[in-house]
Chains A and B, each alone.
Chain A
Amino acid sequence: QVQLQQSGQGLVKPSQTLSLTCAISGDSVSSNSAAWNWVRQSPSRGLEWLGRIYYRSSWIEDYAVSMRSRITISPDTSKNQFSLHLNSVTPEDTAIYYCASGWALFHWGQGTLVTVSS
């Protein structure tokens, strides 16, 4: 059974970088049949897919166009986890952030409330 455990900061100052990590158990970040996503949820935007990474002989990154200039999702194969980095944050980036696996999103992390405030 795949389990995803999130960690990272809950409060970020405007213009700084939001960083979250998702530790995977029960699967491998390098699996040739998996994909690893970040999704966020806010009252104003609802559920919003941010991007994903997956491994198919090489690493593939796929981001929402609206995020592309600010987002990086990266794997850490030594720790079997993946991370989200979102730079130049504004209060509009305040949301609950989730990691999730798959295309249909079979497994979800517990969620991290990230507040962007000075």
Chain B
Amino acid sequence: DIVMTQSPDSLAVSPGERATINCKSAHNLLYSSNNKYSLAWYQQKPGQPPKLLIYWASTRDSGVPDRFSGSGSGTDFTLTISSLQAEDVAVYYCQQYFLTPFTFGGGTKVEI
């Protein structure tokens, strides 16, 4: 199984400040068919299912605010919230879909 390691476990950020979450894969996630990385980011709020934010490491899903951005390559990836809003308080997860079993990071709790 591909192990996904997120850091930090939690972070507190002031409104309007930047939040950065890291995700490291134990395997290169480059999908050779399209030269993109099979890495997704999700946001989960209490009592709700995860919500897809980013796929192919850097493509925002429809309706996701542009303050959310994904970057990285190979085995190291980052989710950045450029200007944290109160509604961004949540737990964030990365997931690899390069190989089954699909695997998730342990989550990063973002607080204000």
Binds A, one of B14-22, B78-86, B94-102: B94-102
Interface residues of B in 40-80 (CB under 8 A from A): 40, 42, 48-52, 55-56, 61
Report the separation of the CA atoms of residues A103 and B106 in the bound assembly, to the nearest whole angstrom: 19
Report the separation of the CA atoms of residues A9 and B61 in the bound assembly, to the nearest whole angstrom: 32
State whether A46 and B107 are in contact (beta carbons under 8 Å apart), knowing that A52-B100, A104-B52 are contacts in the complex: yes
Interface size on B, residues (CB 8 A): 21
Interface size on A, residues (CB 8 A): 19
For the residues of A in contact with B, the DSSP-based class is: strand
By Cβ-Cβ distance, the 3 closest A-B pairs, closest first, are A104-B55, A108-B49, A47-B104
Query: Is there a chain A Cβ closer than 8 Å to B5's Cβ?
Result: no
With a cutoff of 8 Å between Cβ atoms, the chain A residues found around residue B40 in the complex are 104-105
Interchain pairs with CB closer than 8 A, number: 48
Which residue of A49, A100, A106 is within 8 Å of B100 (Cβ)?
A49
With a cutoff of 8 Å between Cβ atoms, the chain B residues found around residue A100 in the complex are 49
Report the separation of the CA atoms of residues A47 and B101 in the bound assembly, to the nearest whole angstrom: 12
With a cutoff of 8 Å between Cβ atoms, the chain B residues found around residue A52 in the complex are 100
Which residue of A65, A104, A111 is within 8 Å of B49 (Cβ)?
A111
- Chain B nearest CB: distance from A113 CB in Å? 10
Which residue of A46, A65, A103 is within 8 Å of B38 (Cβ)?
A103
Would you call B101 and A108 a contact (CB within 8 A)?
no
Query: Is there a chain B Cβ closer than 8 Å to A76's Cβ?
Result: no
Query: Is there a chain B Cβ closer than 8 Å to A109's Cβ?
Result: yes
Residue of A nearest to B47 (CB): A111
Which residue of B38, B61, B93 is within 8 Å of A47 (Cβ)?
B93
- Chain A nearest CB: distance from B109 CB in Å? 13
16 new A-B contacts at CB < 8 Å, known A64-B101, A103-B97: A47-B95, A48-B104, A49-B100, A49-B101, A49-B103, A52-B100, A65-B101, A98-B50, A100-B49, A103-B38, A104-B97, A105-B40, A105-B42, A105-B50, A105-B52, A111-B49
